[in-house]
Structures are given as C-alpha cells and as structure tokens.
Amino acid sequence: MTVGLRGGYRLAATDRDCQVRLSPGEVSALIAALVSIGPYSSATARSAFDKLIAALGLSEDPEQTPT
C-alpha cells in the first residue's frame, strides 16, 4: 500500500482472488460503507456489493435468497 497522488492510498493489484473471513456485522459495515459512495458507481463497486449481499445470504431477487 502506498500513498496515492492526491492523498488516500493505492493498493497493489494482484491476479488472484483473496479469501477473507468476515462476521455478519463486518459484512454489514462494508455494505453500509459501499452504499454511502454508491454501489452502482462502477462495475467493480456493483460486483463487490453483490458479493457482500450474497455473503449475508440475501439477494435483491427473492428467488435467489437461500432458504
């Protein structure tokens, strides 16, 4: 991680997925943070939003929500 050109931070990109264990509360906190910046602002934000919702066992499509 390095300091970005205009402040903030820049993360080094990798070619592999990473596995992170999060509690339901931590997933909810990430969803809330993502919603505040706009989960539809980019394809990557939308993908992250969809994966976080799936991690909680929720879905925007009621037919895809696990029972």
* Cα of 22 vs its chain's centroid, Å: 12
Look at residue 26 in the predicted model and tell me its pLDDT. 92
Neighbours of 49 (CB within 10 A): 19
Question: 7 lies in a domain?
Answer: no
* Amino acid letter, 58: L
Q: How many domains does the chain have?
A: 1
> What pLDDT is stored for residue 64 in this prediction?
47
E-assigned strand segments in 1-67: 2-3, 9-10
Sequence-ordered list of residues with C-beta below 8 angstroms from that of 67, at least 6 positions apart, any chain = none
Is residue 14 assigned to a domain? no
Residue 12 lies in a domain: no
> pTM of the full predicted structure?
0.60
| pLDDT number for residue 62 | 46
Q: What is the pLDDT of residues 3-48, one digit of tens each?
A: 777 777 777 777 777 788 889 999 999 999 999 888 888 898 899 8
Asked if the structure places residue 67 within a domain, the reply is yes
Is 13 a domain residue? no
Residue 47 lies in a domain: yes
Domain that holds residue 45: 19-67
